[in-house]
A and B are shown apart, each in its own frame.
Chain A
Amino acid sequence: MEKKKTVNLDMKQYGMVLALIAVFIIFAILTGGKNLSPANINNLIMQNGYIVILAVGMLLCVLTGNIDLGVGSIVALCGAAVGIMMVDYKMNMALAILVALAIGIASGMFAGFFIAKLKIPPFVVTLATMLMGRGLTYTLLKAQTKGPLPTDYTYIGAGFLPTVKVAFGSKEIDLVCIIVALVASLLIVLSEIKNIRTKKKYGFAVNPAWQIVLKEAVILLIVWFFFYKLASYNGIPFVLIIMGLLVGIYHFVTSRTVAGRQIYALGGNAKAAQLSGINTESVFFWVYTNMGMLSAIAGIVLSARNASATPKAGDGFELDAIASCYIGGAAAAGGVGTIIGAVVGAFIMGILNNGMSLYGWSTDIQKIVKGAVLLGAVTVDILSKRKKG
């Protein structure tokens, strides 16, 4: 590498994003543009919010080479706790949320203790928490739905940020959305410029200008498309804020921090990580504790959206979250995967669900298609790697 000034973009990194766009366009054609409607774009975000939240946590488990089967049950348990506290005991909302989070964290610590300290295989431990969590939820709710939850609370799952509507052509759009989109675009462009500057400062190779411009253009186009659609509807859903924050934080943690690097190292080779001074026990413990906390957040968002807590809530969510990670390029053996990949994976699943519903396919057919997509995505990923080696 004798002072090469430019290097091409690694297209494999963006393959999933292209697949996402492709799937979206296919359904736009199939449904005659129904999935492009502002209401549907809004739905897409609100319906998939909790899967994205779970996928973010699940990615960390997948990076260690494991999975957490218990998340669906913990989602239900935390929802049930909120329901009981707020409906039966008329408890203060903030307190109820804190207790629910505490329950999620405690259940994560419970699993983490068995996995990290006692070295019980995560599959077994989380299979147990899945059964126990579900059973506990049914017991607490006496197998009945608890509701309705107050509107203050449902705002978390179904509410929107305040809007400032202005006339735009023939319809009204929300100024807040536009401002947020502007700020986001500015940040994206600035961070890219900063990135290029530091690369130049250290004398590293940069991508050719046209590729950078193209990449940024695509990203900005997606951002503006989404925000324009939201602006034409009810504005920014509160869930989007939660999602955006979590994705941002975890992307930073996994890609830029020592803690994140330790998770990758552990997943790649636990023994080598240990002999490099990484406390693998504590990494395992915190990864599963974190998963518990995110399950609680997902449980709160879900129960808020439904305005009630049901014992069946979150059934099968763990599998959707795991599938999102794998579709997003994470390796089942651990050590490979990104937060952005998992989020894109979650949205591919969401767009498929949504598109097939709009097209009129039953949920039974949807499951077949989702299974096939999962298998296909992972097969392509593995085969393409094999060719290289």
Chain B
Amino acid sequence: MSDYILEMNHITKAFSGVKALDDVNLKVKRGEIHALCGENGAGKSTLMNVLSGVYPFGTYDGDIVYNNEVCKFHSIKESEAKGIVIIHQELALSPFLSVAENVFLGNEQTDIKGVINWTLTRKKAHEMLEKVGLGDENVNAPVNTLGVGKQQLIEIAKAMAKKVELLILDEPTAALNDEESKKLLEIMLELKKQGITCIIISHKLNEIGYVSDAITIIRDGHTIETLEKGKDEFSEDRVIKGMVGRELTNRYPVREDITLGDTIFEVKNWNVYHPDDGDRQIIKDVNLHVKAGEVVGLAGLMGAGRTELAMSIFGRSYGQKISGTILINGKEVTIKSVKDAINNKLAYVSEDRKNYGLVLIDDIKRNMTMAALRNFFSKKGVVNSNEEIVAAEEYRKKINVKTNSINQTVGSLSGGNQQKVVLAKWMLTQPDILILDEPTRGIDVGAKYEIYCIINELAKAGKAVIVISSEMPEIIGTCDRVYIINEGEIAGELKKEEISQERIMQRIMAHNRKGEN
């Protein structure tokens, strides 16, 4: 019999009568990396919250056996004392405090009660950083001066400082680019060698396949199966089948009869400088064009300047000293504000729907009509709320937002449904040109497919669509043409038949080399 560090048996957890988890079982062997897969809302995070004591003992049924001992955690503090540390999707670092202070946040190194020993703090912080491959970092630097990838590693260092035995990572690579993700996965393998057990929740199946020893699949609050490396089939398609309960024969819907029209959107000699630093050029001489009915991808690494490019085009929402021209249907237009952009039939769906796309406390209807209110749902400044309801109801059905009512608060929807609301919001402005920034970030496979269908529909209707994505398969699966952006410049362009992951990376590497010479 194998040695299980953790057994969660028959866990059932209900929220006001609705079962989020129903008789879930999870067994994790000591020293392995165990992945937890499932669509959004399947219950993965709920299960981890039960484990870490966020939902205290007594609010769920079933038992948790950890290190052969039945545990009844009443708070995160109790589970942490036993060596279970959870790192949430959202970073829990205090941005203005130093790296060292963050590593020992809530776990301060003290001499006499309550007095911090700074020398010890810095020394030990440095040790922890070395373990996660950040030995070169200055432990006194404020943590917000580091990139997101490094901040994620600091979260792990913080967990290490707590003498972790079982580390839970909830979507650790969601905000990281491929390179940073790779590094994080290597660190995980390194931790495994040091005897730390890991549970990882992720939507990125290629990463899971690479790093994990076993995969438990959860669907609709039930455990479906546990796959073990070496014993079971471990392919992505196999996992997806378990997650959605059916074979997804095609993860990308087929584009039918692509007919490209005239070039309707063109950007020429676009230059943008950093909003806080007028000497730092973020976008350099970018030229691009999109035809009616075309889906054009912007590929590149995180921080390459794709979002900055899109936002600076969209009503100068980013940067300063912006120069260059925008042509719509061959005519030069001046777009100085988001309002101008909307009036010129431009739409931008942000990569960060929670912070930039939605008013989470408001309902679906009002979120959907937010951008189109002035032009389509009001007369002389007075809102026609009936037309508004009709339109919201129409789009709810059209793009399949799963909800009982358009009066539901957006904050209570799942990520995929929230993304659909943001898409509806911009479709309602009746744009000709849509820029979709990471349109499927953090949403499940089923919802992704639906979003790809919407993209195809838009293209079919003769819209020009620009898709920014860090997931290369997505670019390959959806785009007719792709621009590769690197360090604020166009590093290359690939036609549909040329697009491949390798070629995109080649262009980036070649561009990097050019920069060094």
Point out residues on A near B: beta carbons under 8 Å.
Answer: 1, 198, 201-202, 204, 256-261, 264-265, 268-269, 271-279, 331, 335-336, 389
Contact = CB atoms under 8 A, between A and B. Distances in A.
B370 A273 contact: yes
B362 interface: yes
A269 B360 CA distance: 8
A204 B360 CA distance: 24
A315 to B, nearest CB: 34
Interface stretch (B61-69, B149-157, B282-290, B379-387): B379-387
Contact of A277 (B341, B360, B404): B341
B244 to A, nearest CB: 26
Contacts of A274: 317, 338
B295 interface: no
B359 A268 contact: yes
Contact of B350 (A198, A275, A279, A331): A275
B371 to A, nearest CB: 4
A272 B356 contact: yes
A258 B378 contact: yes
Contacts of A278: 338, 370
Nearest to A201: B386
A276 B390 contact: no
B67 to A, nearest CB: 34
The dominant DSSP class at the B interface is mixed
B417 to A, nearest CB: 16
Contacts of A260: 383
Nearest to B349: A275
B373 interface: yes
Q: Lowest 3 CB-CB distances: which A-B pairs, in order?
A: A268-B359, A276-B371, A277-B338
Most chain A CB within a 10 A radius of its CB, from B315, B338, B390, B425: B338
10 contacts: A1-B404, A1-B405, A201-B386, A257-B382, A258-B382, A265-B366, A269-B358, A269-B360, A278-B370, A335-B362
A271 B356 contact: yes
B88 interface: no
A373 B404 CA distance: 36
Contacts of A204: 386, 389
A1 B355 CA distance: 29
B360 A268 contact: yes
B374 interface: yes
Contacts of A1: 404-405
A276 B360 CA distance: 14
Most chain B CB within a 10 A radius of its CB, from A204, A276, A331, A389: A276
A256 B355 CA distance: 26
Interface string B403-442: 0110000001000000000000100000000000000000
Interface string B332-359: 0000011101100000101000011111
A301 B315 CA distance: 44
Contacts, number: 85
Given A1-B405, A256-B385, A277-B341, A261 B373 contact: yes
Contact of A271 (B355, B366, B381, B382): B355
A334 B371 CA distance: 20
B509 interface: no
A273 B389 contact: no
Given A272-B355, A273-B370, A264 B381 contact: no
Nearest to B15: A389
B421 to A, nearest CB: 11
B220 to A, nearest CB: 21
Contacts of A258: 373-374, 378, 381-383
A145 B381 CA distance: 44
B248 interface: no
B256 to A, nearest CB: 32
Most chain B CB within a 10 A radius of its CB, from A204, A269, A274, A389: A269
Contacts of B366: 261, 264-265
B141 interface: no
Nearest to B390: A202
A256 B384 CA distance: 8
Interface residues of B, number: 35
B361 interface: yes
A258 B366 CA distance: 11
B397 to A, nearest CB: 11
Nearest to A336: B361
Most chain A CB within a 10 A radius of its CB, from B360, B373, B404: B373
Interface string B436-474: 000000000000000000000000000000000000000
A250 to B, nearest CB: 14
A363 B378 CA distance: 48
Given A1-B405, A257-B383, A389-B412, A272 B358 contact: yes
A277 B343 CA distance: 10
B374 A277 contact: yes
B356 A275 contact: yes
Nearest to B353: A272
Interface in B310-343: 314-315, 317, 337-339, 341-342
A118 to B, nearest CB: 16
Most chain A CB within a 10 A radius of its CB, from B315, B361, B371: B361
A69 B351 CA distance: 37
Contacts of A264: 359, 362, 366
Given A258-B374, A268-B359, A272-B359, A279 B339 contact: yes
A54 B390 CA distance: 36
Contacts of B337: 277, 279
Contacts of A257: 378, 381-383
Nearest to A274: B338
A260 B412 CA distance: 24
Contacts of A271: 355-356
Contacts of B382: 256-258
Contacts of A275: 314, 317, 338, 348, 350, 356-357
A272 B389 contact: no
A269 B355 contact: yes
Contacts of B360: 268-269
A197 to B, nearest CB: 11
Most chain B CB within a 10 A radius of its CB, from A257, A265, A275, A278: A275
Given A258-B373, A276-B370, A268 B425 contact: no
Contacts of A273: 359, 370
Contacts of A389: 412
A269 B370 CA distance: 12
A274 B361 CA distance: 16
B370 A265 contact: yes
Most chain B CB within a 10 A radius of its CB, from A260, A265, A335: A265
B383 A256 contact: yes
